[in-house]
Structure 1
């Protein structure tokens, strides 16, 4: 296909309206694929753990996906800058959908964790390339804001139906269908991207690129060792092995720092990370990911395991959180072009997110479902004000030369925050729950039953409850009393865990004051060609 200048159509968008609409429809289905997966799985996860028996790997279902995504996002963000993004988007859809089938076939938590890691590779490719297609198609910031409403709508539709769909599928069809549901969306994504998304590139086809594989390996080592350290510390304490993991993480990061300053094409450009205009925005991406995934993964566990709700009921309560991300994003797109100081929307967003996390902390089994849904609603609105603005602000400040890698870095850092959030809060919840349950059993002189209560699956699986309660009754123990103690232990531990997210969001709110005033430019920078 012939190469032509992007300015042939408009200084603000590469293609005419009809072609732009069809191309954006392809990206919209990709966004739905990623969003649907994250929200559906969160609601089903407590039931999955109850069936596959492995609460100690609960957080790993999320963190294995996030860890592999973190590594692949910057790799393919960089490759997309040089070779164009369309080929990588196509491959990532196939990989992501194929890995979803493997997740649905899992017969153990370890299998599921490994399959989620493979799915994360596809997800990282998607995030690193598909999201950067939008500023390629619409170089003008104001035009891009209008078209991003379409992305926000696609994200909102997927996330709005995700929790309820996850609950419905889990309750009536079985949890495996929360992964198989990716198949039809994946097929639609593949069709529209292949047929309508243009192959845009920023460099001449003969330009050579050297991939920073040592940098990728050092990122893997530093983050992987850190994650293992956080997950295993409560169980093993500060043993020699734990100290070795921490030391390996620190050494890998120092080596990464030194290497990236000397390699000609670094996978993690520290100069960009430390740029005064961008550094605070990147840090806010980390903190927003921490709080967002804390809500999405542990609120369903609280509602199902702590409050005794069904998967479908828990899904309905989570729905306002994810549905209002769309409403917030659409409202944001209309409001922000009229503001002299666009940074105000970040203040509002982080305030609402902090209130939502606080709402989870103070809610209990007697809190009305309307109030709980209200707390979820304001959290969704907050995220709707935070996520698109961080994207637009970072792309605006980075400029055309660093557009792809800056977008990829933002997504990677949000995933690192999500990974740390699920790992740290998951570890805290596991530790507090185990300690509280052990104490409650000791008070009732039922220490020997700890193995039955150490995994909160007993609070979710009615079949397991019936079996254990019958065994406790025959042994002369008050099973319902012990079950109630375990439920209270889980509620208290999740409250403490999400309380940490409140603190993190408060820090983010303070950091917003350090963000330089953003001015949205109307005219784009030149340099995009289409094939």
Structure 2
């Protein structure tokens, strides 16, 4: 469990440390047109590999894939640190994403192998939550410190000691579990390829639509994704050992849990992405102050998980914990959607804490409930699909809300500038409609000087744009709260789940 926890920390650290170092990376390597690909290449590669290796782990055992995942991930981290241009870095990040997808698809599913008894599994999930919380909380400050003192390349090399420790514990201590099979397994390579193409095309479409709209290329991409999805259904119906067993989607309980996982990703990534922008851009707080106010999200995920382990196995209806978790997300979203610059910081910290505790109640329980329903033969693919749907929900949330916030903000700034006359609006709209000017102090000071030289009250204009940004973000966060409210009602569709004591352990072979 230490090895699996370190794998979880490795993923969390990489996501948060690298995001902090991105401005330094672009400044040195240039190639701003590839900026988005540093994140997108990793996400795309991980999304398409999670379900594939989750299913392969069901067939052939997970230990070899977890070891391979750590080796690929840490090796790709070295390549990222050695990158000489943005193209090489994007390719290395894609390789890193393959390793990350392998880790998520196999390491998480190793937990029910180790602990068939769900009561023990619930208690040990604290290790996962603590590792993720530490990685998420330490990542931003660690990334900034490393970039400042040792350069951006060191933010990739920090994965090496964590990866080495994870590799040692997994290689030395993780047993090799392999379920008994009758007959040879015919790997569904066609299904694996179609899964990768469908998920990859869907992610590309999600990212392209808000940016370009319904262009001919995007419509063609949407049609191609639909055709590939139909081909995947046909392929999986015919496969003797399908990568994605379609009978999973005939179980209404699992479909509900997959939907809840999508909604949890939608809400979680939306709040994590937009709450700091609200604090810095909308309320004018410094990055350090905003970071301190947002820290409770990561810390309270672990706290919520600890509380969850104490209560979920004792409840006559364990799904009540999901209802409480999503209700906390609804309350936190409502608090942030009505927050103003005059809102006490303590109130904001309570809202951030509610987000973290709510996620601590939700994330682990979705895995455990789905594993109880799916059965041992489908642990890997079920756990992998939960991770994939969460990532897809995160992509949908950030993409949809970013489009709504951007359009609402640009429209509000345009209306505010029109009161000063069409000439002023035409001249200053491109500068003021970029929210970076409200976050970056250097950009803001330079623009204030230009506004003063033009005879305009720069301070008043900045204050007006802040109010417009706050209003736009309130709309986005409110939509995230509505998604959490939908999840509250969906939880009622899950039938009663009973934690059964495991009678026998799975087949174990020597590593």
Counterpart residue number, 2:46: 69
Counterpart residue number, 1:523: 502
Is 2:28 aligned against 1:88? no
Aligned partner of residue 347 in structure 1, secondary structure? helix
Counterpart residue number, 2:344: 368
Deviation at 1:291, TM superposition (A): 0.8
- Which of 222, 228, 252 is the matching residue for 1:246? 222
Contact 1:42–1:297 (CA<8 Å) still a contact in 2?
Answer: no
- 1:2-24 superposed Cα distances (whole Å, 9 cap, x missing partner): xxxxxxxxxxxxxxxxxxxxxx1
Deviation at 1:185, TM superposition (A): 1.8
- Which of 507, 515, 524 is the matching residue for 2:486? 507
Counterpart residue number, 2:437: 458
Go from structure 1 to structure 2 and tell me whether the alpha carbon gap of 1:227 and 1:131 turns closer, same or farther (over 3 Å shift): closer
> In terms of mean alpha carbon deviation, does 430-439 or 184-193 score higher?
430-439
Deviation at 1:525, TM superposition (A): 5.0
> In terms of mean alpha carbon deviation, does 399-408 or 92-101 score higher?
92-101
Contact 2:264–2:390 (CA<8 Å) still a contact in 1?
Answer: yes
- 1:353-372 superposed Cα distances (whole Å, 9 cap, x missing partner): 11122222222222222111
> In terms of mean alpha carbon deviation, does 136-145 or 188-197 score higher?
188-197
> In terms of mean alpha carbon deviation, does 170-179 or 395-404 score higher?
170-179
Go from structure 1 to structure 2 and tell me whether the alpha carbon gap of 1:136 and 1:95 turns closer, same or farther (over 3 Å shift): same
**Whole-Å Cα distance in 1 between the matches of residues 503 and 257 of structure 2?**
21
Aligned partner of residue 280 in structure 2, secondary structure? helix
- 1:205-255 superposed Cα distances (whole Å, 9 cap, x missing partner): x96444433333433443444444443334544333332232222222222
**Whole-Å Cα distance in 1 between the matches of residues 81 and 335 of structure 2?**
33
**Whole-Å Cα distance in 2 between the matches of residues 108 and 446 of structure 1?**
38
Contact 2:61–2:178 (CA<8 Å) still a contact in 1?
Answer: yes
Is 2:447 aligned against 1:447? no
Query: Where do 5+ consecutive residues of structure 2 fail to align?
Result: none
Matches within 5 A, 1:127-526: 127-166=104-143, 178-203=155-180, 208-444=184-420, 445-524=424-503
**Whole-Å Cα distance in 1 between the matches of residues 432 and 77 of structure 2?**
31
- Which of 9, 14, 18 is the matching residue for 1:32? 9
- TM-score (norm. length: structure 1): 0.85
Aligned partner of residue 261 in structure 1, secondary structure? helix
Contact 1:77–1:408 (CA<8 Å) still a contact in 2?
Answer: yes
Contact 2:270–2:477 (CA<8 Å) still a contact in 1?
Answer: yes
Aligned partner of residue 520 in structure 1, secondary structure? coil
What is the number of residues matched between the two proteins? 507
Query: Where do 5+ consecutive residues of structure 1 fail to align?
Result: 1-23
> In terms of mean alpha carbon deviation, does 70-79 or 214-223 score higher?
214-223
> In terms of mean alpha carbon deviation, does 98-107 or 154-163 score higher?
98-107
- 1:88-117 superposed Cα distances (whole Å, 9 cap, x missing partner): 222222332344455567798877665544
Go from structure 1 to structure 2 and tell me whether the alpha carbon gap of 1:308 and 1:102 turns closer, same or farther (over 3 Å shift): farther
Contact 1:85–1:199 (CA<8 Å) still a contact in 2?
Answer: yes
**Whole-Å Cα distance in 1 between the matches of residues 235 and 460 of structure 2?**
58
Deviation at 1:122, TM superposition (A): 1.7
Go from structure 1 to structure 2 and tell me whether the alpha carbon gap of 1:437 and 1:313 turns closer, same or farther (over 3 Å shift): same
Deviation at 1:165, TM superposition (A): 4.0
Contact 2:147–2:154 (CA<8 Å) still a contact in 1?
Answer: yes
**Whole-Å Cα distance in 2 between the matches of residues 74 and 210 of structure 1?**
17
Deviation at 1:188, TM superposition (A): 1.9
RMSD value, Cα: 3.1
Deviation at 1:55, TM superposition (A): 9.8
- 1:111-131 superposed Cα distances (whole Å, 9 cap, x missing partner): 766554433222111111111
Contact 2:49–2:196 (CA<8 Å) still a contact in 1?
Answer: no
Deviation at 1:459, TM superposition (A): 2.3
Go from structure 1 to structure 2 and tell me whether the alpha carbon gap of 1:310 and 1:183 turns closer, same or farther (over 3 Å shift): farther
